[in-house]
Chain A
Amino acid sequence: MKALCWQGKTDVRVETVDDPKILNPRDAIVKITRTAICGSDLHLYDGYIPTMEPGDILGHEFMGEVVEVGPEVKNLRSGDRVVVPFTIACGNCYYCKHDLWSLCDNSNPNAWIAEKMYGFSGSGLFGYSHMLGGYAGGQAQYARVPFADVGPIKISSDLRDEQVLFLSDIFPTGYMAAENCDITPGDVIAIWGCGPVGQFAIRSAFLLGAEKVIAIDRFPERLSMARDAGAEILNYSETDDIVEELKWKTGGRGPDACIDAVGMEAHGHGLAAAYDNTKQAMRVSFDRPNVLRQAIQACCKGGVVSIPGVYGGFLDKVPFGASFGKALTMKMGQTHVHRYLQPLLNRIQNGEIDPSFVVTHRMSLEEAPQAYKTFRDKQQHCIKVVLDPWDETKAA
């Protein structure tokens, strides 16, 4: 089959590889009909995530048709149309049973690597480095899905692929980010980053009852998409001091919750950014916490800082004193996708939201190397790329 393989920093290639096989009794094989490129894939592309090896297959947002099931999978059959969550979870450990699926104890074959870094390992993920399982990802024509009796959700309605594909990652991620803000009526939410996760966070915040959402970015098409959702937009490249600007927009109180939907590759300008960039280039620190600093500084007293943005290692110069002094709550982590699959599918089926709004580019898997570059550099007003692994007509 064809698959997109990581071959080094800013080097991804479509290669012909073996078809996946059933390896464990709870596996299933899915023929992928649509797959997407995630913002966190760009951290892999730019070489910031350790334990990647040449040949690793990328991709963790995918859906398709079941073609084979292992002997212990009783709820799925060949032909079922499924969306696959990007976190792999066993369903029977303490964490899965407590609805904390992305913290599964039993789904990372390389847990010892994550334990060395973090003390304990979370769940395995598709296509996201050997530290997080070394699982082959879904930017391919087929994928092997472990614990298929617990993960994939069956789609029996005639919703289009693009309407349900994002249940795999970005819709639950944005939704969990908004849910973590503990929104009560009248709340004002500030969201840094109007990429796909930010876009879903904006819409989810409104679904959860926020009164006002302030969306922060600098790319016109992303701000425009945010405005379409009803958010008030803030272009940070035209603002001297975002913290002051947010105070002004909230009657001097600050936003009730701040969402960092940017993560470790935050842009910035000025001295702080130069400091971060240098340290990251020297690999003295992994992450650039520009947005996190602003979010902490801007947040109102007693508010919540909700962090769906991915961080990998150690941060420097984070205003923890401000966080303590204002008694902030911080909520973060990989999305517990399994928790949200059915509730969000219900919302889509009820017509409350059509997730396909976020797609700007539709390409074939063959064009994926170019797609990564387009997505990373935000060329052609790119916001979200969806790939068709079976489209033979458009070769790179």
Chain B
Amino acid sequence: MTIITSSKNYAHPELSRSSDSSKLITAASVLGGTALAAYGITRRSWGGAALAVAGAGLALYGVNDARKPYSGKVRVGYTIGKSPEEVYAYVRNSEHWPKFLQGLAMESSGNDSLKLTFGEAAGFKVVSEAEITDEESGKFIAWSSAAGPVQHRGVVHFNPAPGKRGTEISVAFEFKAPAGPVARAVAMFVGWDPEQLVRESLRHLKELLEAGEIPTASGQPVGSRGFRGAALRVLYRETPAEDATKTRMAGD
């Protein structure tokens, strides 16, 4: 069975080839490293030799870095206790997307077009346009990115789980973002990991479909946190009880 994951309107180069990363950092590494190595050699001493080795290492790092984009492949499976048709129908309905998607906001912009926004909460808004390239009701949805700096494509399968367990939903995709070292640093800082975001989204989807709500401990009473505790509050996604309102959807 062939699933089409190439966009009809845009042609991508191979996602796994290198692309332009941060030229400044790599240039600095290569030039600085070469300069350091040259200086070390001219010193004609053991200290100089050590500097030369360090310089060469730095230059090599810069060269390697220049060739590495922020890219990867992600594969996550999850089991949900509803039939594949039910899960497919829920996922395909764009009104449900804000409820379970984690780390990204997605809108339908007509026909099979999608608009993805990453990182708005972290103040780092990145917009990506995508389109659904292939789908079969109750079976799979395939997509590919269209315009935008972040490239990605993948497929979500809805397979019957063994026994009476429901649906095995599996997400497989590959992605590439420009400015490799910078993108990686940013992702680490704001806590993005595409695989983890997909896993949390699927977890929310399962919780909504099975339990009817996403469990939360956000907005409950808490004693005095202290300075370190206040900083760590972000890690555990807490809000104080007084900010909680009945209509807030858990997992926001």
Partner of A144, one of B211, B220, B222, B240: B220
Q: Are A24 and B216 in contact (CB under 8 A)?
A: yes
Q: Are A17 and B221 in contact (CB under 8 A)?
A: yes
Report the stretch among B38-46, B178-186, B241-249 that lies at the interface.
B241-249
Q: Are B210 and A55 in contact (CB under 8 A)?
A: no
Asked if B236 CB lies within 8 Å of chain A CBs, one says: yes
Q: List 24 A-B contacts (CB under 8 A).
A: A3-B221, A5-B224, A6-B223, A17-B223, A17-B241, A21-B244, A23-B219, A23-B250, A25-B212, A26-B213, A53-B232, A54-B225, A55-B223, A55-B225, A56-B222, A57-B223, A88-B215, A93-B210, A94-B79, A94-B165, A106-B207, A106-B210, A134-B236, A136-B222
Report the stretch among B2-10, B131-139, B195-203 that lies at the interface.
B195-203
| B residues near A97, Cβ cutoff 8 Å | 81
Query: Known: A23-B218, A55-B226, A55-B229. Is A110-B210 also a contact (CB below 8 A)?
Result: no
Question: Considering the complex, which residues of chain A in the window 92-116 have a beta carbon less than 8 Å from any beta carbon of chain B?
Answer: 92-94, 97, 105-112
Q: Are A93 and B81 in contact (CB under 8 A)?
A: yes
Asked if B238 CB lies within 8 Å of chain A CBs, one says: yes
Tell me how many residues of A have a C-beta within 8 Å of chain B.
48
Query: Known: A93-B211, A147-B211. Is A15-B224 also a contact (CB below 8 A)?
Result: yes
| B residues near A91, Cβ cutoff 8 Å | 211
Q: Are B229 and A53 in contact (CB under 8 A)?
A: yes
B-side interface residues toward A, CB under 8 Å? 79, 81, 165, 196, 199-200, 203, 206-207, 210-226, 228-229, 232, 236-238, 240-242, 244, 246, 248, 250-251
| A residues near B199, Cβ cutoff 8 Å | 112
Interface 0/1 of A1-34, CB less than 8 Å to B: 1010111000001010111111111100000000
| B residues near A6, Cβ cutoff 8 Å | 223
Closest to B240 in A: A18
Asked if A135 CB lies within 8 Å of chain B CBs, one says: yes
Q: Which A-B residue pairs are the 3 nearest by beta carbons?
A: A5-B223, A90-B211, A18-B241
Asked if A130 CB lies within 8 Å of chain B CBs, one says: yes
Partner of B216, one of A72, A94, A109: A109
- Chain B: minimal CB distance from A389 (Å): 13
- Chain A: minimal CB distance from B210 (Å): 5
- Chain A: minimal CB distance from B100 (Å): 13
CA distance A362 to B241 in the complex (A): 30
- Chain B: minimal CB distance from A258 (Å): 34
| A residues near B221, Cβ cutoff 8 Å | 1, 3, 17-20, 57, 136, 140
Q: Are A19 and B241 in contact (CB under 8 A)?
A: yes
Q: Are B222 and A133 in contact (CB under 8 A)?
A: no
A sample of 6 more A-B contacts (CB under 8 A), given A88-B215, A109-B218, A124-B215, is A18-B221, A23-B216, A53-B225, A53-B232, A56-B223, A144-B220
Q: Are B223 and A54 in contact (CB under 8 A)?
A: yes
Q: Are A24 and B225 in contact (CB under 8 A)?
A: no
Partner of A53, one of B236, B240, B242: B236
Q: Are B241 and A55 in contact (CB under 8 A)?
A: no
